[in-house]
Amino acid sequence: MINNIAVNERGKMKLLMIYCDYFSTNPNIKTLDSAEEVKEKLEFENALVGMIHVEAEDEENAKKVETKLVKNLKWAARKNETNKIVLHSFAHLSDSDSSPEFAQGLFDNAEKRLKEADYETFQTPFGYFNDLEIKAPGYSQARMFKGF
């Protein structure tokens, strides 16, 4: 179903938000030569994980996209009664990709804004395929999808 949504809504960032009782990420395969060398596993409890696909067209509306990303993450975190947000690059929700530099800059800006709003905010290793462990409860607000 997500693939159908992605195909039908071109030109918009995709954001899959999952509230997790437990989430871990472990860098497995480096996909960008410019990515920092990272080897450690990261683990989080009671966190909202934003799986974010930044599209090429988003580069034209950087500020608007950044604002919508931050607002949606804050809203979903409040709905799930957490102040912990994890930003995860998930370039699998569409065929359109922004440049890695733009996506990383967007993540950095969103992280800064969320921290300024008193959210504990983290990023998973950018430029890697990561092994993921997800334990998520089964209620409607625990999983949400937005395209904007």
DSSP annotation string for 45-82 = EEEEEEEEE--GGGGGGHHHHHHHHHHHHHHHHHHTT-
Residue 39 has a pLDDT of 87
How big is the CA angle at 92 (ends 135 and 99), to the nearest 5 degrees? Answer: 125
Tell me what pLDDT residue 120 has. Answer: 98
So what's the pLDDT on residue 148? 82
CB atoms within 10 A of CB 139: 9
- pLDDT score of 75: 97
Can you give the pLDDT at residue 138?
94
CATH 3.90.78.10, applies to 2-137 = no
Identify the pLDDT of residue 92. 64
Tens digits of per-residue pLDDT, 99-117?
999 999 999 999 999 999 9
User: Counting every residue, how long is the chain?
Assistant: 148
Backbone angles phi and psi of 140, in degrees to 5: -60, -40
Ordered by start, the domain boundaries in the chain are 2-137
Q: What is the pLDDT of residue 15?
A: 95
As a whole number of angstroms, the distance between CA 50 and CA 145 comes to 10
User: pTM of the predicted model, to two decimals?
Assistant: 0.88
Compute mean pLDDT per 10 residues along the chain, 148 residues long, and list them. 40 90 95 86 97 93 95 97 96 78 96 98 94 95 90
